[in-house]
Amino acid sequence: MADKQELDAGEDESAGEGKPVATAKPARSKKKLVIIGAAAGLLLLGGGGAGFALMSGGAEATESAEAGDHASEEGGAETFVDIPAMTVNLRSADGTPRFLRVHLMLVPSSAARQDEITQKLPLIIDAYQPFLRELRPEDLAGSAAAFRLKEEMLLRANQEVGQGAVADVLIQDLVQQ
């Protein structure tokens, strides 16, 4: 607002002399340059901070990748525990029958834990059934639904077998009818 008043005052003075006064325009362009420079600096700092956070947070990923390298050096390929496909009724608000068919595979944290997971597979399935039956069709909508389902299945598997025994849950099929 002050810049506009200065510009108007400069034009009034120059009107009598017949020359335009350009004192306000460089001030504006300097301000624009400062704002643009500050924004660019913030973007660079933010990008650098994000890169640093990803690199320092990636230390855990590096450790697990190294552990995976050691497993493959020992001759153990990554193993999976197949869970038989399950078909469950979904809860629907209007009472229409809806079904969910899901086929999962568990990834043990180590080859030694595979037998333990296989032995406790009936307990894991028993933990999955009530959760799956309580799902509503709306719970399975969207791309984030598969991620939430995997996280919940991983949590329940680790509760049954032991914390850290199951490294990941892979969704082979997820069909809603």
Q: How far apart are CA 167 and CA 109, in angstroms?
A: 5
For the chain, the structural domain boundaries read 2-73, 81-176
pLDDT, residue 31, reads: 80
Looking at CATH, the fold of the domain delimited by 81-176 is given as Tetrahydropterin Synthase; Chain A (3.30.479)
Query: For residues 174 and 149, is the Cβ–Cβ distance under 8 A?
Result: yes
Query: Is the full-model pTM beyond 0.85?
Result: no
CA angle 122, 71, 128 (to 5 degrees): 20
Q: How confident is the model at residue 14 (pLDDT cuts 50, 70, 90)?
A: very low
pLDDT tens-digit readout, 32-75: 888 887 777 667 776 666 656 566 554 444 444 444 444 444 44
Rounded to the nearest integer, the mean pLDDT of the chain is 77
The H or E element that residue 48 is part of is helix 24-73
Q: How confident is the model at residue 91 (pLDDT cuts 50, 70, 90)?
A: confident
